[in-house]
Structure 1
Amino acid sequence: MAIIKRRTVLFADLRGSTALYESMGNASATSVVTQAINGLSRRVPVTGGQLIKTLGDGLMAVFPGAVSAVAAAVQMQAELDRQAQQAVGLPPEQVADLQLQIAIAAGEVVEVGGDCFGDAVNVAARLLDHAGDNECLVTREVHEELTWEVRSRFRHLDKVHLRGRAEPVDVYLLARRGVDTAVTQMEAPAEMSEPQGLQLVWRDNAFVFSRGRWPVVLGRGSQATLKIDDARVSRSHARIDLMGGALQLTDLSINGSYVRFAGDEEVLSLRRGTCTLHGNGELGLGGSPNDPDVPLVQFAVLSSLDTQPMKLV
């Protein structure tokens, strides 16, 4: 008999297992992956959820509400951390390759024969494809059910178009572990004075933003300070603001922001992370500055000594 209930649906996926099978062999890799999934599965009932099924290197669970689902996600991430620290005989680089992606959606589901179906199930499953390493993505419906304290740990990304859905889904991010989602700090040179302005150049048009005009939001939405009209750019793609006496660039997007400082060949990739802007360089929105088709914004941080905008790269 089919039963319709409102449920919060969680999908979790353990990525990096393919490399384990290749390097360790089927038997050893299966043991590691099974142990990891079993540990993650145990986090479901202790937070009030119901494990629906395991999916090889992933799982599906349902919860009575958003609070318990997010609590399970946090505990799963901590459990994977614990397993990595206690791994015996597994090379550190392989432990680091095991990454957990989680997606959570809420809505009516149909329970039939121990399985669940419905729009919330489809949304959670497809939202999982958009999660980066060690990230938890939730829909607006889930976010709105959380307490203020828990909501403050999430960052609003943008509306995401999911495969098979006509309407986009509003998405929030909880980043928990790993270098890809940690805030990245690049310290400015000690002799730099506090920034007094910022010059941005987009399509040969230069814009100078003084201290009173910060923060600056780059994106294709109508509310963006600097509008970048390109399909790879999110409505609110990146934010530049004065924090701790330095200009901080924070990625808010799905496709990422990329920074190349003048004189450096290395490109810094930000996935919802932050870096300090200093000197001048280039920002790739949605892709690397090395890609000629990527929307490219040149930047120059202006000090109190500047009377004219700096020459850009």
Structure 2
Amino acid sequence: MMNAANQRPDLIDVLRKAREQLPGDPAFGDPLSVSGPGGPRAVARAADKLVGDSPSAAREIGFGALQVWQAMLERVGRGKGSQEVTIMFTDLVSFSSWSLTAGDEATLELLRRVAKAIEPPVAEYGGHVVKRMGDGVMAVFPSADGAVRAAVAAKRNLERVEIGDYRPRMRMGLHTGSPREIGGDWLGVDVTVAARVMEAGGNGNTMISQATLSALGADTLAELGLGAKPYRRSFFAAPLNGVPEDLRIFRLTRS
């Protein structure tokens, strides 16, 4: 009887709608969800191991509790780890519109070439890819210097990638903080900030937060022939949600 109730579609639907009224990310548990503070997929995967991935009332109740828990942690500033790392997010500009006309075969070939361009520098400079998200990746580095050097090398490699007459452009975002590592993933406010820093990259810029700029060696940017120009959001640009009000972002430029 209890198992039958657990699988009732009407009950599951009611609980799922109830979760939309709770604090936190209501997409918690969606394997395609990468939005919202704290990287909900990390904890969602842990919950899946306990309640399974089939729709059920128990699953929705469990995700609701975790959703509220994560929102509370972020609100009071907890959920941080003890290790400082630099988080990198990447994203191909206008990739979706190009792939619609290019077709699956060309799209997959492009993604393979992009991965070969950007992932080796990540490993070379001490980082590792946490997850791949379609046309982008999230990577973590033990140092800001390594992250910036990897970003520069990846962008240089990407200049040689071309499919037909399409040359991909990539925006990148770097932020340094202390997220918490759980089950091979990382979550916390700093992960959200890194993703938002990337979003400020527009049509292919490399952006870094003030925290990352401050963590760089004194001569790192000069050695790379780079400068850091303060980012000012244009009047028509959408505001960056889920970040501290005093967040400062810089665009890396050739000096």
Same-fold status (TM-score > 0.5): yes
Aligned equivalent of 1:117: 187
Structure 1: tracts of 5 or more residues without a match: 177-182, 184-313
Q: Is 1:174 matched with 2:247?
A: no
The TM-score, its normalising length taken from structure 2, stands at: 0.60
Asked if structure 1 preserves the Cα contact closer than 8 Å seen for 2:229 and 2:253, the reply is no
SS at match of 2:203: coil
Residue 34 of structure 1: CA displacement? 2.9
SS at match of 2:245: coil
Aligned equivalent of 1:156: 229
Alignment map for 1:177-196 (pairs within 5 Å): none
Aligned equivalent of 2:175: 105
**1:236-279 alpha-carbon deviations (Å, 9 max, x no partner):** xxxxxxxxxxxxxxxxxxxxxxxxxxxxxxxxxxxxxxxxxxxx
**1:151-190 alpha-carbon deviations (Å, 9 max, x no partner):** 45223314766302342311111136xxxxxx9xxxxxxx
Alignment partners' CA distance in 1, 2:92 and 2:220: 24
Equivalent in 195, 198, 218 of residue 128 of structure 1: 198
CA distance 1:38–1:55, change in 2 (3 Å):
farther
**1:56-93 alpha-carbon deviations (Å, 9 max, x no partner):** 00000010111000001001101101223xx5xx12xx
More RCO (CA 8 Å, sep 6+): 2
Q: Which amino acid aligns with 2:84?
A: R
Q: Is 1:65 matched with 2:135?
A: no
Alignment partners' CA distance in 2, 1:170 and 1:109: 19
Structure 2: tracts of 5 or more residues without a match: 1-45, 47-78, 234-238
Aligned equivalent of 2:107: 29
Asked if structure 1 preserves the Cα contact closer than 8 Å seen for 2:192 and 2:242, the reply is no
Residue 144 of structure 1: CA displacement? 1.4
Aligned equivalent of 1:279: none
SS at match of 2:108: helix
CA distance 1:151–1:144, change in 2 (3 Å):
farther
Residue 150 of structure 1: CA displacement? 3.0
Alignment partners' CA distance in 2, 1:26 and 1:71: 32
Q: Is 1:140 matched with 2:210?
A: yes
Residue 37 of structure 1: CA displacement? 2.5
CA distance 1:83–1:13, change in 2 (3 Å):
same
Question: Larger % of strand: which?
Answer: 1
CA distance 1:159–1:7, change in 2 (3 Å):
farther
Q: Which amino acid aligns with 2:230?
A: L
User: Which has the greater radius of gyration?
Assistant: 1
Q: Is 1:9 matched with 2:87?
A: yes
Equivalent in 77, 80, 83 of residue 161 of structure 2: 83
Question: Larger % of helix: which?
Answer: 2
SS at match of 1:5: coil
The TM-score, its normalising length taken from structure 1, stands at: 0.50
CA distance 1:25–1:159, change in 2 (3 Å):
closer
Residue 31 of structure 1: CA displacement? 1.7
What count of residue pairs does the alignment treat as equivalent?
169
Equivalent in 93, 108, 128 of residue 50 of structure 1: 128
Asked if structure 1 preserves the Cα contact closer than 8 Å seen for 2:141 and 2:147, the reply is yes
Alignment map for 1:265-304 (pairs within 5 Å): none
Identity across the alignment (%): 25
Residue 137 of structure 1: CA displacement? 0.6
SS at match of 1:133: coil
CA distance 1:26–1:126, change in 2 (3 Å):
same
SS at match of 1:18: helix
